[in-house]
Amino acid sequence: GAVVSQHPSRVICKSGTSVKIECRSLDFQATTMFWYRQFPKQSLMLMATSNEGSKATYEQGVEKDKFLINHASLTLSTLTVTSAHPEDSSFYICSATRVPGGSQYFGPGTRLLVL
């Protein structure tokens, strides 16, 4: 149990376009979902924390108007990278928890390349 999926797994887009990434908890209801990004050879960096039905909490330095997060249900959160630029190219990973403070279950990640 505790499977988290992400879609798409890989996306290539043109500069200036928007890209939506989905994160789903397949067999449990997630109280909280987290969005991370990871640059090559670096560790994960938390972008935002998302609770169902409420606004996401963004980490310092993360532009909320550029990285739109919608947590529409207890099993789905979406991250939209708006007006993507090449510097947004990265590996985006989501995770989800069943209960506050509980284990985080990670999705397989989405590799974004902006040309």
Partner 1 sequence: KNEVEQSPQNLTAQEGEFITINCSYSVGISALHWLQQHPGGGIVSLFMLSSGKKKHGRLIATINIQEKHSSLHITASHPRDSAVYICAVGVAGANSKLTFGKGITLSVRP
Contact positions vs partner 1 (CB under 8 A): 32, 34, 38, 42-46, 49, 91, 93, 95, 97, 100-106, 108-109, 111
b/e per residue, 78-87, with b = 16+ CB within 10 A?
Answer: bbebeebeee
Residue among 81 and 96 whose Cβ is closer to partner 1: 96
Least Å from the CB of residue 100 to partner 1: 6
Contacts of 15 (CB under 8 A, 6+ apart): 84, 85, 86, 114, 115
Nearer to partner 1, 51 or 82 (CB): 51
Considering the complex, what minimum distance in angstroms separates the CB of residue 51 from partner 1? 9
Q: Provide CB contacts within 8 A for 83, sequence distance 6+.
A: 16, 17, 18, 66
Whether the CB-CB separation of 98 and 28 falls below 8 Å is answered with yes
CB of 23 to partner 1, least distance (A): 13
Give the residue with the Cβ less far from partner 1, 49 or 82: 49
User: Phi and psi (nearest 5°) for 65?
Assistant: -80, -15
CB of 16 to partner 1, least distance (A): 26
| Residue (21 or 93) nearer to partner 1, CB | 93
